[in-house]
A and B are shown apart, each in its own frame.
Chain A
Amino acid sequence: MKKKLLSAMLCTVMVAGMLSGCGSSAGTETAAETTAAEGTTAEGTTASADGLSFAVCGGSEDAMVLDTARAGTLEGLSACRHLYEGLYKLDQEGNTVLGQAASVDISEDGLTYTFTLRDDITWSDGQPVVAGDFVYGWQYLKESAGDYCDLLSMISTSEATDDKTLVVTLAYPCSYLPSVLAFPSAYPVRQDIVEANGDAYATDPDKAVYNGAYAATEWTHQESVVMTARDDYYDAANITAKEITWQLMTETSTMLASFQSGDIIYSDSYPEEGVLTGLQFASGYNTYCALFNVGENGPEVLKDANVRKALSLAIDRNRLVSIRNLDDEVANTYAPGGLTDESGKEFNSTVTPWYSTDEADYEANCEEAKALLAEAGYADGEGFPALSYIVNNDGRREIAEAVISDWKEVLGIDTVTVEIVDSFFAQRQEQDYDIAYFGWYMDYPDVSNMMYTFVSGASDSGYANEEYDAAYNAATATADTAEQWTNYAKCEELLAAEAPVAPLFHSQNSYLFNSDSYDGLVYYCGNFYFGYVTEK
């Protein structure tokens, strides 16, 4: 009896398993075949009568935050640039031009901006975009407490005098305001949609409305987001990519394999090894540093500026760059290159370099470092206390280890250890570390975005200097670029003298793009826009 019962049960279980297994598999495959039938080419794109469509890597699901106020990653911000649009936007060349605004009137003192909105702008549910959506959006940005919640700190008031007129007053003349207003965090937001959805706002395509060139039409969580070009977008005629599928991926090896197999035409990340075909470089606007904890919780030894300068000088930056082999530029200032004024002059040309990065001068730097360390009482590294150097991934550990090997060889310090920590950002922010990786990727190419990071209270190094704050405030208070730069140069000088940070190099932004078959990618400060992509 029991034997029969058992065999019957086992059979049922197995058959049920098989059926459900096969059933679901059949379902998936049929759905997939339908898509394939629409004509997939070898490049993984579908060229239908409706226009160009392709897939790109959109990073991981947690990066894909489609709420402009909460988006913080490059993938999320870039995706938002497709779905929404601000008063300004990026054009085909990556320049900042008027977007939702038809015109702007700037007062003589540079403190009042009066925007007139276009007449032909609508949300994806058909409602017109009104000036009040911007006012609400900026208030919502502050309340949401996202990574960029204080992006609009220069704006003191914003008022919608009527549906099409927005008057913005600034606390200080801010010549880079257009770049800021073209940033996703400054986009308009529809109050009724936010209030109807609460925490779930913009977590599914039907829980948001869009005023950009695209509308999100499908979102299979953890798998893909599909964006479809809107016919009622005012500039629809110039949008060449009609459908973009953002494949969500977490593993860099998967991104590379998908790129190489032609499944995707763009990826922001890839495994950092070897030279890859399809790899493109763009000006990075960033600085990769070693940060010293000079705050209250920091180690005594690092409170001595001579020690910090000695540590900084002893680093062979050219060797670091050759280890990475990614076309980085050695850093001898905190601000990266490429920050220019109207005439094309570089900010860095007005700054005295902190030290020479010429390979021939490295010996001399080392001698100076040894002298400084001896002065601080640690000649030949004698008696130097144990410190830990924290990083958050393998690539950064490799660089940190190269740095401490310089300290060991040049200064005789063998008490610094490198550690990958899980709660890296929390530890750094709570100043619970000795030395840490620090990298700043600028959000818009204005020197203020760089110098802000060492204003008292803003830096994880615990650096606080009234003179620095005064110089920074003087720079932001003026509309005159030359005067701003004089003050920012003063900031650089103070950082060089006190070395709360050791700039190592400025990395290039790099990404994979199938430039053999495609053209028209807009790449700006790590953000990417596919609307103008065309097939070659």
Chain B
Amino acid sequence: MQLVIDTKGKDWNIKMELFQKIVKRIILAVFSLFVIVTITFFLMNLIPGDPFMSEKANAEAQAILRAKYGLDQPVIVQYGRYLSNLFQGDMGNSYVLQKGRAIREIVTESFAVSMQLGIRALCTAIFVGIPFGCIAGLWKDKKPDGVIRVISAIGISVPGYVVAAILMLILGVQLKLFPISYNKPGGSIMPIITLALYPTCYLIRLTRASILEVLNQDYLRTERAKGMSEFVVIFIHALKNSLIPIITYLGPLTASVLTGGFVAESVFNVPGLGRYFVSAISSRDYTLIMGTTIFYAALIITMNLVCDILYQIVDPRIKMD
């Protein structure tokens, strides 16, 4: 009987093993998410103040509002109620930033916008970053390498808000090439540049370093010695193996770019998710803080899982655990 199973093929066993690992990871992911929800909930309640503070509000009215939303209860009771609502798929309504609107609606709506922008920024980063990184790596210490290195060093060190401000001032106000607000024609170009600049430059450096390391490997020397064409050596063998660190970076990058950038979105009025990560906290919009945190955590966990699965395919020696 055992022989029969074996004849079904080793491939099947490996797939089963992979499947089990994935299931295990998913269970682990749900647990991590629960831990994140718990920590965020209690930390959030430690910050002084509440969603109803404002310059002109009076204490009595604030007490009414706190009672209405149950914020006058002990934190542990609020936590219990939040969890039970969450399991029923109810993330509550926003208290401040979009008063009265359902969190689920806000997050899905604004994520759609951030994602549209993010995918374009991501494509820009990948299609510009990786090729230029290759060029820099293959022509190490030559002219193109020098130019690319200087530009990418600048791109990495200039903070996003400076990039956004410079773009806005030069392209928007002085030259009037692009409109400042996202909802005008061509309005997505400046936010895409702002979002894509850092990951592009980072990818250039990463690809370059990775290629250089692979080029020094013995097996490439062996291939060359055996007379394989330079094209096959570099494009088939070297590039493939230099992809691993890039994939590691692409996972979290995708998650962070897709959820939008605080700077790009608030400067160019993009109605995306990115600006909520900061503004929800500063305005103590509790339900929105939880909503964005859960969403972002789930996305990061998923992207990391996808990366791990990709590793398995690129290099089965890497253990998933």
- Cross-chain contact B168 with A32 (CB below 8 angstroms): no
* Chain A residues, CB < 8 A from B56: 72, 147-148
Flag whether B218 is at the interface (Cβ < 8 A): no
Task: Give Cα A149 to B99, complex, Å.
Answer: 17
Stretch at the interface among A1-9, A403-411, A480-488, A518-526: A1-9
Flag whether B145 is at the interface (Cβ < 8 A): no
Task: Give Cα A427 to B49, complex, Å.
Answer: 7
- Cross-chain contact B110 with A222 (CB below 8 angstroms): yes
Task: Give Cα A249 to B187, complex, Å.
Answer: 14
How many whole Å from B266's CB to the nearest CB in chain A?
5
- Cross-chain contact A249 with B173 (CB below 8 angstroms): no
- Cross-chain contact A203 with B269 (CB below 8 angstroms): no
User: Of A25, A150, A423, which contacts B58 at CB under 8 A?
Assistant: A150
* Chain A residues, CB < 8 A from B85: none
Residue interface mask A65-79, B partner, CB < 8 A = 1: 101001010000000
Q: From residue 227 to 285 of chain B, which have CB atoms closer than 8 A to chain A?
A: 236, 240, 266-269, 271-272, 275, 279, 282-284
* Chain A residues, CB < 8 A from B150: none
Residue of A nearest to B250 (CB): A13
* Chain A residues, CB < 8 A from B267: 251, 253-254
Residue interface mask A192-224, B partner, CB < 8 A = 1: 000000011111000000000000000011111
User: Of B61, B168, B275, which contacts A145 at CB under 8 A?
Assistant: B61
Flag whether B155 is at the interface (Cβ < 8 A): no
**A contacts with B, residue count (CB < 8 A):** 62
- Cross-chain contact A254 with B313 (CB below 8 angstroms): no
* Chain A residues, CB < 8 A from B101: 200, 203, 221
Task: Give Cα A423 to B48, complex, Å.
Answer: 6
How many whole Å from A201's CB to the nearest CB in chain B?
7
Flag whether B57 is at the interface (Cβ < 8 A): yes
- Cross-chain contact B271 with A250 (CB below 8 angstroms): no
Task: Give Cα A222 to B272, complex, Å.
Answer: 8
* Chain A residues, CB < 8 A from B122: 17
Which A residues form the contact surface with B (CB < 8 A)? 2-3, 5-6, 9, 14, 17-18, 20-22, 24-25, 28-29, 32-33, 35-36, 61-62, 65, 67, 70, 72, 145-150, 199-203, 220-224, 247-251, 253-254, 257-258, 260-261, 263, 422-423, 425-427, 429, 432, 439, 458
Q: List 25 A-B contacts (CB under 8 A).
A: A3-B236, A20-B116, A24-B120, A25-B116, A28-B188, A32-B187, A33-B185, A62-B97, A145-B64, A146-B61, A150-B58, A199-B93, A200-B100, A223-B181, A248-B271, A249-B181, A250-B275, A251-B266, A254-B269, A257-B180, A258-B180, A258-B181, A261-B176, A261-B179, A423-B48
Known interface pairs A147-B55, A263-B179; 20 further A-B residue pairs with C-beta atoms within 8 A, sorted by A's residue number: A3-B236, A21-B123, A24-B120, A32-B187, A62-B97, A67-B100, A72-B54, A145-B62, A147-B56, A149-B61, A199-B93, A222-B275, A251-B266, A254-B266, A261-B173, A261-B176, A263-B180, A423-B49, A427-B49, A458-B58
